[in-house]
Every structure is written in C-alpha cells, then in structure tokens.
Structure 1
Amino acid sequence: MGGRRERKKQLLRERIWEETIRLIEREGVEGTTIDAVCQGVDVAKKTFYNYYGSKHVLLIDICQSQLLNRTALLIDEALAGSDRLDEQLDTIFAAFAQRNRSAGKLDRELIDYMVGSLSDNRSDGGGQLTFMNKCFLRLYQAAEAQIKPELTPTFCAEMTVGMSNAITLNWLHDKTYDTGYNFLMLLDYIKNSMLRGERP
C-alpha cells in the first residue's frame, strides 16, 4: 500500500515538472505561475504545496535535475574516458561550449534562474555552488599528481567553477558573447596555471 502511494506521488511530481517545463518553454520563468501549473496538471494549489513550498523550490528542484546532475554525469564521463586531466578538461569544456551554443529557451531560462539564485538566495545558492565544487573536486582529486604541487584540488575546483560561472553569466547577458572562444581561453589558462608542465 505504501509503495503504491509513493508511486502515485512520484507520478504527480513528474506531471508538475512536465507542466512547469512546458510553461517555461512558452512563457519563461517569470511568466510561469503556480496557478498555471495547477491548472495544467488539474490539481488544487493545496495539493501543489504538499509537494513544493513555493515556485522557487520547484524551480531549484528542476535546475538540480536538468543542469547540476547533468554536470555530475559529464564529470563521470570525463573520468571514464581518460586518466589524463588535460584530456578530461578538454571533454568538459567542449561540452560546456556546446551546451551554450545549442541552448534553447528552457536551458537558457533555467541557467539564468540558477545563476541568479547563487547570489539572490544564500542557502540554495550555497547548496548549488557546493554541488558544483564537489563535482570538480572529484575530477582534481583523481588527478592530484597532475596538478602543480603548490595547488590543492579544492582550490582548483573552486577556481574552475567560479571562472566557468563568470563566462556563463556574461553569455546570459550578452547575446554576442562568444562562449566557445572564452571557454577555450579558460581551458588553456587552467592547463597552464594549474597543471604540471609535464604530461603523463
């Protein structure tokens, strides 16, 4: 009985997600309202609030799934594809550049919301930043012997996340901003400033 109830809850949660994503693609984050989500899913607002305390909580949940978890999988892919840190970074930054080049309205809206929440909401923003830092920390810890001895994996992870976020923020606010070129420059900068001169 409990398992059936949980499956029912999960199905409704998925319907709320699907409707929210559909509305964001059409109306954007700002134009998406709880009323519209409830109407599309055909549930009462009281039911919605049983799942999500606010629109913000819902959006952060979607960002976690659509964006942050995708980054974690990308790190896994890079680690599985090579044991050389320079090649792993090539894979990651090529994917970042491709993501921005091919981003549709949904991705752009979610990235904008997530980056904005890093500064607007300290608790959620801190959680997202910690998640991203941990993703890259895994990468640098696995190849610690390949980074310069005066640097730590934690420092390298934090700097990589911070500089990547800066490029993404510029891309969000300037449609002419060349993220591909800037990610390439950042990649070269990281290799030259963080990695040992000799390659394994």
Structure 2
Amino acid sequence: MARGRAADFESTREEMLAAAAQLFARNGYPGTSMNEVAVACQVSKPSLYHYFKDKHELLVQICEGHLQTLSSLVDDVLAQDLAPEPRLRALIQGFVREYGESQYQHRVLTEDVKFLNDEDRTRLRQVERRVVAAFADAVAAVRPELAGARLEKPLTMLLFGMINWTFTWLRPDGELSYEDVAPMVADLFFGGLGAVRTSSDNALLQETAQ
C-alpha cells in the first residue's frame, strides 16, 4: 500500500519554498545548492527530495506561487467593482504591499526567471501578461483616450518599472516601510511629484475626515 502524505505536508512544503527563496534571493539561483537549501530547512537532503525532485522545481514553484498570489490580488480588486481611479490605486498599493510581504520571492521572480526551461517560462509569462493586462485596462479606464493612442500598455510598463525594483533600495530596517511607500507610488503615478503626500499630510487628512 502506498504511503499517504503527512498532514503537514503542504505547510512544510511552503516553509521549504520560503527558505529556498531567501537563499536564491541572497546568493542567486546558480550559487545555491540543494544541500544549502536542506541545511536552511533543517532537514536531510533525502527529505528535501521527498518534497521537490530537483532545484529547478524549487525555482518553478517559487515563481509560480508568487505570480499566482499577484493574480489573485488582481481578482480580489476587480471583484470589488470600484470606480476607475480607486481601482487602479487599489491595484498599485496592493502590489507594493505584497512585494513587501514577498521580497525574496519577488527578487527570485525578477532575477532568476531566466533559469527556467522554455516551457515553464512560457507558462508563467502567460500569468504575467494577464496581470499586466489588468493594470493596462485600469489605466485606460482612468484615461480612455490613452487606449486610442495605444499608450495604456507603455504607461503600465513604466508603472511596473517604478514598483518592481523597490526591493533594490527600500531597506526592511529603514525609515520607510512598503506600507508607507504604497500610497506614494499611487500619488506619483496619478499626479506627479506635486501630488505626493508626506505621512504628516496623510495624518492630517485622516483627522479632517473624522
């Protein structure tokens, strides 16, 4: 009789993926061995192979898991049926906050996706395109004339250029958190530098609204 999975199989697997993502983010995918992942997970190497057949599968699952989280975030925002501007703001701020929660996974997706095989990379690119399309549609909903000029996609890519690389400069122990930066990105995209509010400005607005 085949042995069934342990009750904590999925939670253990997720913990291993998180540990591997941290190692890949810090040392790079090529510079990380399965032995190092096993040590970080505090399991034997054979135990690690019980959950993942090889290092490539680890990379696939890290990238796919992060993209599916982002795709679900898009679905959650769209399900709220918000007006155009609040919808785009919710998407922007939701993504910035999620990047803060998944810094290692996001770095791996950004820097190590090139090490995936063609089949897996193509499949994940399809999820990425769906996410980008949702943002482009949101941009066009705010400024419908942009769609006629075919500018909604370039503007969306400029927006992602602003938020995708936040991890390269925003320190986890710094003065600003991802929660602080999220509304700044939205304000900057909508209104330029003059629209960015400080934390004291936001506090004043909240007091006025009460």
How does the TM-score come out when normalised to structure 1?
A: 0.61
By percentage of residues, which structure has more helix?
1
Aligned match of 2:169 in 174, 181, 185? 174
Quickly say closer, same or farther: Cα 1:10–1:137, change in 2 above 3 A.
Answer: farther
Give, in whole Å, the separation in 2 of the partners of 1:142 and 1:164. 12
SS of corresponding position for 1:41: coil
Aligned match of 2:124 in 128, 131, 144? 128
**In structure 1, what is the equivalent of residue 43 of structure 2?**
41
Q: Deviation at 1:90?
A: 1.4
Contact 1:167 1:183 in 2 (8 A): no
Contact 1:13 1:51 in 2 (8 A): no
Over aligned residues, Cα RMSD in angstroms? 4.2
Quickly say closer, same or farther: Cα 1:44–1:27, change in 2 above 3 A.
Answer: same
Contact 1:97 1:183 in 2 (8 A): no
**In structure 2, what is the equivalent of residue 19 of structure 1?**
16
- Structure 1 window deviating more from structure 2 (79-88 vs 11-20): it is 11-20
Give, in whole Å, the separation in 2 of the partners of 1:143 and 1:25. 33
What pairs with 1:99-138 in structure 2 (closer than 5 Å)? 99-100=98-99, 103=100, 107-118=102-113, 123=118, 124-138=120-134
**In structure 2, what is the equivalent of residue 150 of structure 1?**
148
Give, in whole Å, the separation in 2 of the partners of 1:128 and 1:97. 20
Contact 1:167 1:179 in 2 (8 A): no
Give, in whole Å, the separation in 2 of the partners of 1:127 and 1:188. 35
How does the TM-score come out when normalised to structure 2?
A: 0.59
**In structure 1, what is the equivalent of residue 187 of structure 2?**
184
Listed as ranges, the gaps of 5+ residues in structure 2 are 193-210
Give, in whole Å, the separation in 1 of the partners of 2:6 and 2:170. 40
Contact 2:74 2:131 in 1 (8 A): yes
Q: Deviation at 1:79?
A: 1.3
Q: Deviation at 1:184?
A: 2.9
Q: Which digits, 9 at most, give the CA deviation of each residue in 1:80-113, with x for residues without a partner?
A: 212533221111112123335xx26xx2222111
Residue type matched to 1:69 in 2?
Q
Give, in whole Å, the separation in 2 of the partners of 1:113 and 1:187. 29
State how many pairs are aligned.
176
Listed as ranges, the gaps of 5+ residues in structure 1 are 190-200
Residue type matched to 1:59 in 2?
L
1:62 equivalent to 2:62? Answer yes
